[in-house]
Amino acid sequence: MEKSLFGIQHGSLILTPNEYFNLHQNTFLDLLSSAFYLCWIPLPLIFAFYLFNYRKDLFLRFSLAFFFVNIIGFIIYYTHPAAPPWYYEEFGNILYTSTKSNAAGLIRFDKFFNVTFFEELYSKGSNVFAAMPSLHSAYPLIGFIYASYLQKKHFMFIFGIVSAGIWVSAIYLNHHYILDILVGIACALLGIVILEKIIFPTPKIKKWLLDFEKAITPSSNQE
């Protein structure tokens, strides 16, 4: 399906974007894409810290959205296991359940700096067949949407750049197909819409959020 929807003509062959990038690698893109990938957790955490200090109401909504989108992702992982591009290139359609996770294109970052950072990080991965949805693609998008609620253009700009960077990097580094990324984006949007339009506005949840906000706000700030 990836080839039929997003295939790239290369001579007499139709390649997936991953296969195309495998033939067109360079050190600058290796380092840039690895840098984007490093942002996928730290950036939302920094944003959450900011919200906790300055907008506790949004901190709660952002945190719950992060959690809820993860739940949606995990449900899809275990009901529709999907292998990443690097697995298909190495093993084809043969299932090896004992396969360890692989840093794929990120290994080039390790080799450039003569470290084993990504190799060790991915060797601890517990689920190889969790490529769809790409939560790497979902996390910065959640940040972008809540930054828009905050109406802080600098946060929106940062999350926008990082989101686009991670989406392209996921393909370039051979970790995800475009379909994985699109489903990850859909999970983020679906989760936020369900929470913001259906769950959060209900009176009981609205009261619970307000009570929780008061509970984590220093008493001096409530006076």
Cα-Cα end-to-end distance for the chain:
59
pLDDT of 213 higher than 90: no
How many Cα atoms within 13 Å fall on the side-chain side of residue 133?
Answer: 24
For helices 178-193 and 56-79, what crossing angle results, to 10°?
130
Cβ partners under 8 Å of residue 25, min gap 6: 105, 108
37-79 tens-digit pLDDT: 999 889 999 999 999 999 999 999 999 999 999 999 999 999 9
CB 138 within 8 Å of CB 40: no
* Residues comprising the chain, all counted: 223
Classify burial at 84, counting beta carbons within 10 Å of its beta carbon; exposed 0-12, middle 13-18, buried 19 or more: buried
Whether residue 57 contacts residue 213, with contact meaning beta carbons closer than 8 Å, is answered with: yes
159 and 43 Cβ atoms separated by less than 8 Å: yes
pLDDT digits (tens, 9 = 90+) for 124-142: 776 888 899 999 999 999 9
| CA pair distance 132, 181, nearest whole angstrom | 8
Confidence bin at 223 (pLDDT 50/70/90):
very low
Q: What is the pTM of this model?
A: 0.91
pLDDT, tens only, 139-195: 999 999 999 999 889 999 999 999 999 999 999 999 999 999 999 999 999 999 999
Q: Which helix (H) or strand (E) holds 14?
A: strand 13-15
